[in-house]
Amino acid sequence: MSPPVAVSSGKAQSSAKAENAAPTLSEMQEAFQRAVISGDDAVLNEILDNSRTDRNVLFGVYRHAYAARLVEVIRNDHPFLSSYLGDDVFNEIARAYIEACPSRNQNARWFSHRLPDFIAETHPNEPHLAELATLERALNDAFDAPDAEPLALSDLAAVPPELWADLIFEPHSSAQRLVFTTNAHALWLSLKKEETPPQVETHPAPENIIVWRHETTPKLRRMSGEEAMMWNETVNGVPFGSLCELVAIYDDPDSAPLRAAQHLQGWIISGLLAKAQTEE
Amino acid sequence: MLVQAKANAVAHRQPATEDKPRYLGFGLGLRSQHYADILDGDPDIDWFEVISENYMVPGGQPLRILDQIRARYPIVMHGVSLSIASTAPFDPDYLKQLKALADRTEPVFVSDHLCWTGVHGVNLHDLLPFPYTREALDHVVSRIQYVQDYLKRPVALENVSTYVQFRNSEMPEWEFIAEMAKRTGCWLVFDVNNVYVSAFNHDYDPHEFIAGIPADRVVQFHLAGHEHNMTHIIDTHDALVCDEVWTLYKAALDRFGPVSTIIERDDDIPPLAAMLDELGKARVLADEVFSGSKKP
């Protein structure tokens, strides 16, 4: 946290400031911010009534706008969490988040970024809520992630067969793998279709979801355990030959090269990869 | 601290002397709801004002759309988070991103608001008022000088709607703005609705505001709607421009001459056709005012 910087007015910097003297700009801004965030009324002493109403009403515009605006920012970032919870519960969570995590970024685009973690902490017995929020955050992040030219199948056509084992693939900058313990993905799908959400369920095994951007559109889909394992190792920079060996360990070794190639082809067609290169 | 120290060091430089931005005609605030209609059609819009922060993102659709719009129309970048009047240091990452976007987009000019948005590393994401004192004037002037130096271009600042007045203000808002513009050479975005709102909330005649602003510094008008609560007006930018604001717009045209104008809508965004209807009204009023030699 950076302290406010004193301004340069000689009057403001007077060390022998008279009691009852007007606050400096810095002092006024601190008091104003406290009044908006935590309801401290001290700043009202420095504010005038107008001819029709008093300063409490006038200052109340800022207090109301602060929470209302940020609740809407969160709602815009998490439309399906909002519709799943309903306005009352969603607003309660959003206001608690605003109080616990004041915005520290100049751009409101990033304000809700800690919401999934906040919900995980505050609603530990409802993990589907944090996972639903996580899914929406991943889609938001994919939407404006850095641009990268996706790898095309034609890019690999010229690679000699003997180099394939050494190929290392780089994921697209928007790609993000999520691991869910609940059916948050199914909840999201039903909410998107404006259908009644299914009952919350906990998966016997974690569910892998991949989120990325194809051209300008965020996408998501499930990954099998094998595909998720291979993706994870790809992200770690493991070359294709070793990926095939890992797939062979995961399941039937005879068809492993074919399965690995199918996973790879699917990723390339979907725009999940950005680059392929051989180890130096 | 370093950023602020530099700001103080340049506080006594001469005002910026760049040429006044060219007249752009009648435009709209660019909103994502209208992207398809703008890019698929050929709407009668002269230029667009874009919210800088909406495009200060790593990549994806926002920047791609901005590039497409920029290829067809003049653009002005309008920010909401510069926090020029804050006593907190500038956020260097924010300034860096703002400059990168300006260098990429090459807008006709870059603007933000005469306000502050937070201190102690917190951003309230609101356009907050401050007392119009000599102290605040010195502070704002030094910050504008720093930003103009950093961006290597003059900035334009917009008057915001305010709901409170401070006991220790030493001058009216228009006097503060006039002195600020004189000392920094910055341009001014004159939000007609905001003048109307603030004048009602603080019991002054909006024509006094218009008379107090240096005409040669005004480069843009904003027109917008508000919510009237009888005891005070809340600037919502979510409604049609009201008759009183249209009347004030004519008075502003009389005083400032032809000035690039937009309709600015931030909420309850109507279809593009409805926005064009309002823009058409602005054109008609300007035609009426400039039906003689002052027409651009």
Number of structural domains (chain A) is 2
Residue A3 lies in a domain: no
Q: Which chain B residue shows the shortest CA-CA distance from A51?
A: B203
B160: distance to nearest CA of chain A, Å? 13
| A68 at interface of B, judged by CB pairs closer than 8 A | no
Residues A275 and A146 in one domain: yes
Distance from CA of B25 to the nearest CA of A (A): 29
Specify if A248 maps to a domain.
Answer: yes
Q: What is the pLDDT of residue A158?
A: 86
CATH classification at residue A221: 3.90.930.50
**Cβ contacts of A255 within 8 Å, gap of 6 or more:** none
Backbone φ, ψ for residue A118 (5° rounding): -60, -45
Q: Are residues A200 and A231 in the same domain?
A: yes
What local confidence, expressed as pLDDT, does residue A4 receive? 31
Q: What is the pLDDT of residue B247?
A: 97
User: A121-151 pLDDT, tens per residue?
Assistant: 999 999 999 999 999 999 999 999 999 999 9
Q: How far is B123 from chain A (nearest CA, A)?
A: 5
Q: Is residue A198 part of a domain?
A: yes
pLDDT-based confidence at A1, cuts 50/70/90? very low
Whether residue A29 has pLDDT greater than 60: yes
Residue B231 has its nearest CB partner, among A23, A53, A73, at: A53
Does the beta-carbon distance from B164 to A48 stay under 8 Å? yes
What was the pLDDT predicted at A5? Answer: 36
Distance (Å) from the C-alpha of residue B171 to the closest C-alpha of chain A?
15
**Cβ of B135 and A7 within 8 Å?**
yes
B134: nearest CA in chain A? A9
| Whether B164 and A55 lie within 8 Å, measured CB to CB | yes
Are A178 and A221 in the same domain? yes
Q: What is the mean pLDDT of chain A?
A: 92
Residues A95 and A70 in one domain: yes
Same domain, A139 and A209: yes
Name the strand (E) or helix (H) holding B263. Answer: strand B260-263
Positive/negative CA dihedral, A192, A194, A200, A202: negative
* CB burial string A232-254: b at 16+ within 10 A, e below: eebeeebbbeebbbbbbebeeee
Domain span at residue A63 reads 24-125
Instruction: Select from A125, A159, A180 the last residue of a domain.
Output: A125
- b/e string for B255-268 if b means 16 or more Cβ within 10 A? ebbebbbbbbbeee
Task: Give the DSSP letter of residue A147.
Answer: P
Percent of chain B with pLDDT over 70: 92
Q: How far is B277 from chain A (nearest CA, A)?
A: 28
What is the average pLDDT value for chain B, to the nearest integer?
92
**Using an 8 Å Cβ cutoff, are B56 and B103 in contact?**
no
Percent of chain B with pLDDT over 90: 88
For residue B21, what is the DSSP state?
P
Among residues A76, A93, A125, the one where a domain terminates is: A125
Question: Which residue of A8, A66, A105 is in closest CB contact with B142?
Answer: A8
Q: What is the pLDDT of residue B238?
A: 86
Reported confidence tier of residue B48, pLDDT bands at 50, 70, 90 = very high
Domain C-terminal end among A70, A94, A125: A125
Strand B110-113 relative to strand B75-78: parallel, antiparallel, unpaired? parallel
State which residue of chain B sits closest to A143, comparing Cα positions: B60
Residue A16 inside a domain? The answer is no
Does residue B237 have a pLDDT over 90? no
In this prediction, residue B15 carries a pLDDT of: 54
- Record: contact B122-A2, CB cut-off 8 A: no
Residue type (1 letter), A107: N
In a domain, residue A8? The reply is no
Three-state SS letters, A213-256: EECCEEEEEEECHHHHHHHHHHHCCCCHHHHHHHHHHHCCCCCH
Q: How far is CA A189 from the centre of its chain?
A: 18
The CA distance from B283 to the nearest CA of chain A, in Å, is: 32
Phi, psi for residue A109 in degrees, rounded to 5: -55, -30
pLDDT at B8 over 60: no
Given a contact cutoff of 8 angstroms between Cβ atoms, the answer to whether B79 and B53 are in contact is yes
Among A4, A174, A216, the residue with its CB nearest the CB of B87 is A4
- pLDDT over 70 (residue A74): yes
- Residue B295 pLDDT > 90: no
- pLDDT of B292 reads 61
Interface of A with B in 158-197 (CB under 8 A): 173-174
What does the H/E/C string look like for B168-190?
CCCCCHHHHHHHHHHHHCCEEEE
In a domain, A10, yes or no: no
User: Which of A1, A11, A108 faces B125 most closely, judged by CB atoms?
Assistant: A108
Asked, for residue A255, whether it belongs to a domain, the answer is: yes
pLDDT digits (tens, 9 = 90+) for B145-195: 999 999 999 999 999 999 999 999 999 999 999 999 999 999 999 999 999
Question: Across the interface, do B61 and A7 touch by the CB < 8 Å criterion?
Answer: no
Substitution target in A14, A20, A25, A139 with the highest count of B β-carbons within 10 Å is A25
Residue A263 and residue A220 share a domain:
yes
**B75-78 and A202-214 as β-strands: parallel, antiparallel, unpaired?**
unpaired
The candidate with the shortest Cα–Cα distance to B129, out of B193, B83, B192, B95, is B83
Whether residue A136 sits in one domain with residue A121: no
Residue of chain A whose alpha carbon sits nearest to that of B92: A106
Q: Which residue of B has its CA nearest to A31?
A: B119
Confidence of residue A223 (pLDDT cuts 50, 70, 90): very high
- Do A116 and A143 have their domain in common? no
pLDDT digits (tens, 9 = 90+) for A156-193: 988 999 999 999 999 999 999 999 999 999 999 999 99
**Could you tell me the two tokens for A114?**
């800690």
pLDDT for the residue B42 = 84
The CA distance from A239 to the nearest CA of chain B, in Å, is 28
Same-domain status, A99 and A152: no
Q: What ipTM did this prediction achieve?
A: 0.92
Which one of A48, A54, A61, A101 makes the best mutation probe of the B interface by having the most chain B beta carbons within 10 Å? A61
Same domain, A154 and A58: no
Q: What pLDDT does B89 receive? A: 97
Asked if residue A9 is part of any domain, the answer here is no
A277 three-class SS: strand
Half-sphere CA count of B91, side-chain side, radius 13 A: 20
A135 and A224 share a domain? yes
Pair A146, A278 in one domain: yes
Mean pLDDT (whole number) for A2-31: 61
